[in-house]
C-alpha cells in the first residue's frame, strides 16, 4: 500500500513539475509594429504596413486576414504553414503572398530572429488578424 502511494506521489510530482517546467514555458513573443496606415483610392479600403519580428523558436499562431497580405522577408528564415499549400520556407530577400481568409502561421525554426515587412490591403474597420483554431 505504501509503495503504491509513493509511486502515485512521484508520478503526480513529475506530472505537475513537467507542466510548470521548461516544456510548458511560453513561446517567445512575436513583435509587431505598425509602420504605416494609408487610405486607398478604393473607397472603404486601406493599406497597412507592419514590421514583424519572430524570435528563434517563435510562432505567430494560426490566423487569417480579412484582406490580402504580401510579406517580404528581410532577415532570417521563416517556415510558413499555409492552408491549401505545402509548407514552405522563405529566406531573406524572398516574398510571399497570402490570400484573404486563408489560415496560416509563420514559424521560426532557424537560429536567428526573422524580420519581415507585411503589407495588408483590407476594408477599413476590420481587424488585421483573426486567430484560428
Asked whether 132 and 63 are in contact (CB, 8 A), the reply is yes
Looking at residue 26, its pLDDT comes to 67
- Cell 516574398, residue? 95
- Residue 100 three-state SS: coil
Residue 13 lies in a domain: no
Instruction: Return mean pLDDT, the chain.
Output: 85
Q: Using CA atoms, how far apart are residues 66 and 41, in angstroms rounded to an integer?
A: 18
Query: Listing from the earlier edge strand, what are the strands of the sheet with 104-107?
Result: 88-91, 77-82, 104-107, 63-64, 130-131
Residue 6 lies in a domain: no
- Cell 500500500, residue? 1
Q: What is this structure's pTM? A: 0.78
CATH number at residue 66: 2.60.120.10
For residue 40, pLDDT over 50 is answered with yes
Residue 46 lies in a domain: yes
Residue 23 lies in a domain: no
* Number of structural domains found in the chain: 1
Asked whether 33 and 48 are in contact (CB, 8 A), the reply is no
The count of other CB atoms within 10 Å of the CB of residue 65 is 23
Residue 98 lies in a domain: yes
Residue 118 lies in a domain: yes
Residues across the chain: 133
- Show the domain range for 51: 31-126
Query: In this predicted model, what pLDDT tens digit does every residue of 43-86 receive, in sequence order?
Result: 999 999 999 999 999 999 999 999 999 999 999 999 999 999 99
Mean pLDDT in residue range 112-129: 96
Residue 11 lies in a domain: no
Residue 65 lies in a domain: yes
Q: Using CA atoms, how far apart are residues 124 and 104, in angstroms rounded to an integer?
A: 22
Amino acid at each position: 500500500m505504501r509503495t503504491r502511494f509513493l509511486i502515485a506521489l512521484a508520478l503526480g510530482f513529475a506530472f505537475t513539475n513537467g507542466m510548470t517546467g521548461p516544456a510548458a514555458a511560453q513561446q517567445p513573443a512575436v513583435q509587431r509594429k505598425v509602420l504605416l496606415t494609408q487610405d486607398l483610392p478604393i473607397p472603404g479600403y486601406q493599406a497597412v504596413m507592419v514590421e514583424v519580428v519572430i524570435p528563434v523558436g517563435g510562432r505567430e499562431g494560426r490566423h487569417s486576414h480579412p484582406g490580402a497580405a504580401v510579406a517580404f522577408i528581410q532577415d532570417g528564415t521563416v517556415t510558413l504553414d499555409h492552408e491549401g499549400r505545402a509548407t514552405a520556407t522563405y529566406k531573406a530577400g524572398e516574398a510571399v503572398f497570402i490570400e484573404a481568409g486563408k489560415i496560416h502561421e509563420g514559424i521560426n525554426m532557424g537560429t536567428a530572429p526573422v524580420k519581415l515587412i507585411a503589407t495588408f490591403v483590407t476594408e477599413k474597420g476590420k481587424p488585421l488578424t483573426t486567430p484560428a483554431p
